[in-house]
Structure 1
Amino acid sequence: MLLYVTLGSNDLAQSSRFYDAALKTLGIERRVTEEDEIGYAHPSDTRCRLWVLKPYDGKEASFGNGSMVTLEAPSRAAVQAFYAAALANGGTDEGAPGLRPFHEHFYACYVRDPDGNKLSAVCEIPA
């Protein structure tokens, strides 16, 4: 359903460190590095599905209230690794890894990137 997602950044160097470390834990790698944007993809994908960029209008990047990007994790350990890497690379806590009430196997964590964009990593595989 989704073609790709973009997130604004005011400091791409800082965002690169954050996303490189956090997404690596989910098997996602950076494929594109430009002056004004970086793009990420899963190795099995032919195109970048997550872009972090300086806003095209030249204004400061900001985050949306109620907006969140949720990334699929292959295991609960990957959710924990994502959370740890995010916090170690400039992210902030929005909810530690754990089961959530959405269904019995919904294991998730929530963080904000250095620009305030909210992210979640979720594993729905039974433990």
Structure 2
Amino acid sequence: METQELHRGRLIDHVQLVVRDVAASQKFYEAVFAVLDVPMGGTGEGYFWADELFVSSKESPAAQGVLTGRHHLAFQAKDRAAVEAFHKAALGAGGKDNGAPGERPYHPGYYAAFVLDPDGNNIEAVFHGEAKRSAPSVKITF
């Protein structure tokens, strides 16, 4: 997976998670990213990153002493086997099951697994299969 390429027009540029235990989080994310073919970007005192995900301790200057709340992050997988490997690796690295690999009703071919990371974030690996459709339009009224 090419992670050094600039992607214009993406909705999210990067995400920062502020965690209680950087070492436990790093163990978890290194394991799941290894099976998803996402290289670690780097590490430093109290932080690490991969692609556009930055994880730090609350002592990090950017964190301003506050942990982030619970988030749901979904990582793309190249196939169903990668979703299954993600689930197994995540559980082996301290994650908790939050949905075994399987088809989901979101659209035909949506195959995903869910785990809770060491801080309770809902982390998903998803393969959209060959039946990927564009998301339906949603009208929001204020």
Runs of 4+ that moved beyond 3 A: none
| Aligned-pair CA distance for 1:7 | 1.5
Of the structure 1 ranges 80-89 and 21-30, higher mean CA displacement relative to structure 2 is found in 21-30
- Residue 54, structure 1, aligned to residue 64, structure 2: no
Alignment of 1:34 onto 2:44: yes
Secondary structure of 1:30 counterpart: coil
RMSD, aligned α-carbons: 1.5
The TM-score, its normalising length taken from structure 1, stands at 0.86
CA contact (8 A) 1:72 1:121 kept: yes
Is 1:9 aligned to 2:15, yes or no?
no
Q: Distance in 1 between matches of 2:34 and 2:106?
A: 26
Give the drift of 1:62. Answer: 4.8
State the Cα deviation string for residues 69-100 of structure 1 (Å, max 9, x = none).
01000000000000000000000011000000
How far 1:36 sits from its partner (Å)? 2.0
Q: How does 1:49-88 map onto structure 2 within 5 Å?
A: 49-55=52-58, 56-59=63-66, 61-64=67-70, 67-88=71-92
User: 2:39 is aligned with what amino acid?
Assistant: E
**Structure 2 counterpart of 1:112:** 116
Corresponding residue for 1:46? Answer: none
Tell me, which stretches of 5 or more residues in structure 1 are unaligned? 42-48
What residue in structure 1 maps to residue 138 of structure 2? none
- Give the share of equivalent positions with the same residue, in percent: 38
Provide the TM-score with structure 2 as the length reference: 0.77
Q: Which runs of 5+ in 2 are unaligned?
A: 1-10, 132-142
Q: Which has the higher contact order (CA 8 A, sep 6+)?
A: 1
**Which of these two proteins has the greater Rg computed from alpha carbons?**
2
